[in-house]
A and B are shown apart, each in its own frame.
Chain A
Amino acid sequence: MIGYALKRLGLAVVIVSVAMLLLFSMIYLIPGDPAAVALGPRATDAMREALRVKMGLDQPVWVQFWNFFTGAWTGDLGREVLSDRPVAEVVLEQLPFTLALIAGGMIWSIALGIPLGAWAAVRRGSLADRLVGVLSVAVIAVPSFVIAIYALLIFSVSLQWLPAIGAGEAGNIGDQLSHLILPSLAVGLGWVGYIARMVRASMLEVLEASHIRTARAFGLPERMITYRYALSIAILPTVTLLGVGIGQMLSSAVFAEIVFARPGVGKLVYDAILTRNYPLVSGAVLVTTVLFVLINLLADLIVGALDPRVRNRL
């Protein structure tokens, strides 16, 4: 198990490094001089030159990449253009809001998705099963920002049940939670459908397997077969999928943060693009990417712990 974990970790490091390389080449390829872009049209040549030296743009490409690369691994993501604060500090300040949003979305999707999927699988072919099927497909199909806007329109603007703007008063947990309900639902609703479908499908597949037939042939009670023999295998693909799910939720979070005017990494990147604050853009993108890779790593490790077969493969 430890060998497996190390291998996975090594792979994650390689993936993050390649992602850094891609990100760096992207920034490097941006048409025009980043310093000129950042300073706007009224800057003097001297000011541009000063910023170029400060940003390290006067050095050869490979030196720039090496600085970017080593800096990133040690947590130095450079300084943002507007306030001159370290990018890492700005991003980490916003990260908890985004994480809370994703955690909320996760809770929605797991708490609703797994029971719905298992419930539908056991009642295969019934009206309830078909209904769960159509509903989960429907919530997957509709983009999260449309859900977010419609939720805002219905629950905040029309019904006025829940607050529309911000993350709630600092220190007031109740207020913060009530501000979290709608955005996290918008972020997680699609994944309720995904998880329900996934659990249903793999549950049906597992129930067909011959070891389930063996278990039936030994007269084990149906409850034990459904929950301990079948569901424990059926949720495995879901755990792997949760990693992907969190990545998609990171995407949805950008929209949810904009629509509900919440602080967070997504809103940060969006505002940074509008103000051409490129070091902040690349820093924030890198942080979310690392986060995403870490979560996938965690998901793989959990699957490895749950499924003894996986550990022997890479």
Chain B
Amino acid sequence: MSATVSKPSFWRPLRRILAEPLGAFGIALVVVMLGSAIFAELLASADPARISPRDRFQAPSWEHLLGTDHLGRDLFARVLHGGQIALSVALGATLASLVIGIVLGLIAGFGPRWLDNLLILMFDAIKSFPTVMLALALVTLFGPSLTAVVVVVVLVNVPGYARIIRTQTMALKSAEFITAAESMGASTARILRMHILPNVIGPLLILASMDIPVVIAIEAGMSFLGLGVRPPTPSWGAILNDGFTAIRDTPWIAVAGGLPIILTTLGFTFLGETLRDVFDPRLKGRG
């Protein structure tokens, strides 16, 4: 029972993901949400910021697929443009957390003991703030803005990522192949780059892809509280808040704001789950 030879290729993994019903469903959702965000201008002819008091609170119709809000803005256009914000924040903030997390994790795992203890203490202290409380406290510092959202995401993600890299690095540090590299005279930088990073980055990327829904939730949640993007920029959370204010009379606004959040988080989660099952079954069940 020898393992199959894995040639690095883009299509093989994609085929394996598509072979799983859940993975195919996830990819379909992600592609639809990404596509509708990228081509928002083409798909929705209306201007998401155009206020038109005459058209206030219109129920969904052919003209306004998802209806209009309290300022008469077209909700379909707002949802699509909101996707641009949500997805760019999600991808950008995740990337930033990954880079910072990897660097700090390697330092903690391979560096001197006191530095490790200090970093771990910082991570534990940051993690001891409940996420929303951290966000609320930070907003008092930055004021409501996208920057605040990105900082919150980075603060929430980095301790976890750095810890994974640290634990794995420490587990590998005493592995024989690392000692072997040391005995051949390899420098610390080379050991980290050639022998440790390739072995620890895979699980982290999978976990990060599974965290994208969390990031989307943070952005939408903060915008829902009015602490994220400033109006009139469209955001799913802000739409949801508009809908919540008018939930008794015009429930479709809340539906329009919630639906893209549900579809996107489900899509990325199903995709991430399948990625993990296919490529790293050992991670199964980890928070």
Residues of A in contact with B (beta carbons under 8 Å apart): 14-16, 18-19, 21-23, 26-27, 29-31, 134, 137-138, 140-143, 145-146, 149-150, 152-153, 157-158, 194, 197-198, 200-202, 205, 241, 244, 247-248, 250-252, 254-255, 258-259, 266, 269-270, 273, 278, 281-282, 284-285, 288-289, 292-293, 296
B interface, how many residues as a size bin? 35 or more
Indicate if the CB atoms of B244 and A149 lie closer than 8 Å.
yes
Indicate if the CB atoms of A15 and B287 lie closer than 8 Å.
no
| In the complex with contacts A149-B240, A282-B137, A197-B265 CB distance below 8 A | no
Q: Which single residue of chain A is at the shortest CB-CB distance from B135?
A: A251
Q: Which single residue of chain B is at the shortest CB-CB distance from A17?
A: B125
Indicate if the CB atoms of A250 and B140 lie closer than 8 Å.
no
Indicate if the CB atoms of A15 and B240 lie closer than 8 Å.
no
**Chain B CB within 10 A, most for which of A22, A27, A141, A198:** A141
Q: Main secondary structure on chain B at its contact with chain A?
A: helix
Indicate if the CB atoms of B285 and A198 lie closer than 8 Å.
yes
Indicate if the CB atoms of A254 and B132 lie closer than 8 Å.
yes
B130's partner among A15, A29, A145, A289 (CB-CB below 8 A) is A289
Tell me, rounded to whole Å, the shortest Cβ–Cβ distance linking A17 to chain B. 8
Q: State A239–B137 Cα separation when bound (angstroms).
A: 29
22 A–B contacts from the bound complex (CB under 8 Å): A16-B128, A18-B125, A31-B141, A134-B22, A141-B269, A143-B221, A143-B261, A146-B258, A146-B262, A157-B247, A157-B251, A198-B287, A247-B128, A247-B130, A250-B132, A254-B225, A255-B224, A255-B225, A278-B140, A288-B129, A288-B133, A296-B128
Indicate if the CB atoms of B240 and A273 lie closer than 8 Å.
no
Contacting residues, chain B, for A18 (C-beta < 8 A): 121-122, 124-125
Q: State A150–B131 Cα separation when bound (angstroms).
A: 22
Residues of B in contact with A (beta carbons under 8 Å apart): 22, 121-122, 124-134, 136-141, 213, 216-217, 220-221, 224-225, 227, 240, 243-244, 247-248, 251, 254-255, 258, 261-262, 265-266, 268-270, 273, 284-287
Indicate if the CB atoms of A22 and B269 lie closer than 8 Å.
no
Indicate if the CB atoms of A26 and B130 lie closer than 8 Å.
no
Indicate if the CB atoms of B261 and A153 lie closer than 8 Å.
no
Indicate if the CB atoms of A285 and B129 lie closer than 8 Å.
yes
Indicate if the CB atoms of A270 and B136 lie closer than 8 Å.
yes
Indicate if the CB atoms of A15 and B243 lie closer than 8 Å.
no
Q: Which single residue of chain A is at the shortest CB-CB distance from B264?
A: A141
Tell me, rounded to whole Å, the shortest Cβ–Cβ distance linking A47 to chain B. 22
Q: State A23–B125 Cα separation when bound (angstroms).
A: 10
Q: State A278–B224 Cα separation when bound (angstroms).
A: 21
Tell me, rounded to whole Å, the shortest Cβ–Cβ distance linking A93 to chain B. 18
Contacting residues, chain B, for A138 (C-beta < 8 A): 266, 269
Indicate if the CB atoms of A143 and B217 lie closer than 8 Å.
yes
Contacting residues, chain B, for A21 (C-beta < 8 A): 125
Tell me, rounded to whole Å, the shortest Cβ–Cβ distance linking B207 to chain A. 14
**Chain A CB within 10 A, most for which of B133, B243, B262:** B133
Q: Which single residue of chain B is at the shortest CB-CB distance from A11?
A: B124
Indicate if the CB atoms of B284 and A30 lie closer than 8 Å.
no
Indicate if the CB atoms of B261 and A251 lie closer than 8 Å.
no
Q: Which single residue of chain A is at the shortest CB-CB distance from B240?
A: A149
A149's partner among B225, B258, B270, B286 (CB-CB below 8 A) is B258
Contacting residues, chain A, for B224 (C-beta < 8 A): 145, 255
Contacting residues, chain A, for B285 (C-beta < 8 A): 197-198, 200-202, 205
Tell me, rounded to whole Å, the shortest Cβ–Cβ distance linking A292 to chain B. 6
Q: Which single residue of chain A is at the shortest CB-CB distance from B266?
A: A141
B240's partner among A137, A146, A292 (CB-CB below 8 A) is A146
Q: State A194–B139 Cα separation when bound (angstroms).
A: 29
Q: Which single residue of chain A is at the shortest CB-CB distance from B136?
A: A269
Q: Which single residue of chain A is at the shortest CB-CB distance from B133?
A: A285
Contacting residues, chain A, for B137 (C-beta < 8 A): 23, 26, 281-282, 285
A153's partner among B22, B131, B140, B254 (CB-CB below 8 A) is B254
B248's partner among A143, A157, A194 (CB-CB below 8 A) is A157
Indicate if the CB atoms of B136 and A143 lie closer than 8 Å.
no
Indicate if the CB atoms of B136 and A285 lie closer than 8 Å.
yes
Tell me, rounded to whole Å, the shortest Cβ–Cβ distance linking A300 to chain B. 12
Q: Which single residue of chain B is at the shortest CB-CB distance from A16?
A: B128
Indicate if the CB atoms of B128 and A289 lie closer than 8 Å.
yes
Contacting residues, chain B, for A140 (C-beta < 8 A): 269
**Chain B CB within 10 A, most for which of A145, A247, A266:** A145
Contacting residues, chain B, for A247 (C-beta < 8 A): 127-128, 130-131
Contacting residues, chain A, for B255 (C-beta < 8 A): 153
Q: State A259–B221 Cα separation when bound (angstroms).
A: 12
Q: State A27–B227 Cα separation when bound (angstroms).
A: 17
